[in-house]
Amino acid sequence: MATRYAYEQFAEFGLAVTYHNYTRDGHQLRNVVAEKSGLTHPEDTYLVTAHIDDLPEGDSAPGADDNGSGSVAVLAAAQTLASHPFAHTIRFVLFTGEEQGLLGSDAYAADCAARGESIHGVVNLDMIGYNTGEPAFNLYARSGTYPGASGSRQLAEVFSNVVGLYNLNLAPHRIHNDTYPLRWGSDQWSFLNRGYPAILVIEDYAGYDFTPYYHTSNDRLDTLDLAFFRDLTRAAIATIAHLGHLLSSDSLGQLSGTVYEIGTARPLSGATVAASCSTGYYTFTTLTDASGLYSLSLPPKAYTLTTRTAAPGHYVSIVSNVVVITNHLTIQDIALDPWLRWYLPRIPYDP
């Protein structure tokens, strides 16, 4: 029921949402994954994650801090960011089986690695609601030169800097190590263990301002500092928005057109259209559909369009100075020349 609720919430926010199914000891289990595709570099992905299961086993396991707090923060991030355009892809992931040994995240990270996914950062939120004194929290990043360790420390630095940038009432403590709770303590380890950069965001575990209701039926909402939780959620949302490279939706224009073959006017499906500009860092890319149509949402600039077919047979087309204007549709059709076909003369054979 918890995973179904999360699925329905993500879908209501307008995100593409799926269950990630996995098997453990003959049991069919599932995580919930929602995605906001990037406009310029959709293959580069950032994750904000939490585990949705809790303890203790029994009739009452409210799990407000562990880990209702992290799960709600992920849902809040999804709701806040779903309607905004990003350069990179952002995934909002809720894992099951964390309390039994990181089962859900291990299965999911293994599948990501098997697909060769380009995950540039994982921000894992686990227990971010309990506080009794200074609003301190810990940012655990990996030490040493392990794969992903440098990126892990950079993620922690970004998160810490966001707190200062937005003047949030928080005191971040960055901790670089390779022991518990970074190792095996929560779902970030499933990614670090496969070379992906990841961090653990948690209340002040190292300073011992840690919920005394951990894994008990008393882990309830009335034990939490909701002002502290609110600001830590804000920091997480701002961090993932920064990492995903938030674009301004008010300043975007639309570029659309048809890619076709010169001479036959045949629409070319599956062709890649790449829009780049001399002053911009990003290149926006898309594919034509079965009718040869393409569409891109772009910041207002002058672009050079480079178009090529998926299979050999056509020359590459380059169209310069295509101007995109805010809140305006620019139509640019693109014609591709087929390769020339040379035929040898037929020489009669006289035996």
Examine the pLDDT at 116 and tell me if it is beyond 90. Answer: yes
Question: Residues 35-40: what's their mean pLDDT?
Answer: 88
State which of 206, 228, 243 marks the end of a domain. Answer: 243
CATH of the domain at 225: 3.40.630.10
Residues 214 and 259 in one domain: no
Residues 307 and 164 in one domain: no
Residues 271 and 229 in one domain: no
Residues 225 and 292 in one domain: no
Q: Domain count for the chain, please give it.
A: 2
Supply 119's token pair.
């995950």
Range of the domain at 23: 2-243
* Residue 94 contacts residue 6 (beta carbons within 8 Å): yes
Residues 223 and 157 in one domain: yes
Whole-angstrom CA distances from 345 to 12, 161, 165, 342, 348 are 66, 72, 73, 10, 10
Residues 14 and 40 in one domain: yes
pLDDT band at 338 (very low <50, low <70, confident <90, very high): very high
pTM: 0.77
* Residue 128 contacts residue 229 (beta carbons within 8 Å): yes
* pLDDT confidence of residue 341: 65
| Residue at 342 is within a domain | no
Examine the pLDDT at 151 and tell me if it is beyond 70. Answer: yes
DSSP class per residue in 105-145: HHHHHHHHHHTT-EEEEEEEE------SSS-EEEEEEE-TT
Residues 142 and 256 in one domain: no
Higher pLDDT residue, 248 or 24? 24
* pLDDT confidence of residue 346: 63
CA separation for the pair 259, 2 (Å, rounded):
46
CB neighbour list of residue 14: distance below 8 Å, 6 or more residues apart: 82, 83
Residues 221 and 281 in one domain: no
Residues 43 and 76 in one domain: yes
Kindly tell me the sign of the dihedral angle through the C-alpha atoms of 18, 16, 162, 65: negative
State which of 204, 224, 243 marks the end of a domain. Answer: 243
Q: Give percent above pLDDT 70 in the chain.
A: 95
Residues 15 and 136 in one domain: yes
Q: φ and ψ at 25, to 5 degrees? A: 50, 40
State which of 243, 271, 302 marks the end of a domain. Answer: 243
| Residue at 264 is within a domain | yes
Residues 195 and 290 in one domain: no
Residues 156 and 271 in one domain: no
| Residue at 351 is within a domain | no
| Residue at 75 is within a domain | yes
| Residue at 180 is within a domain | yes
CATH of the domain at 314: 2.60.40.1120
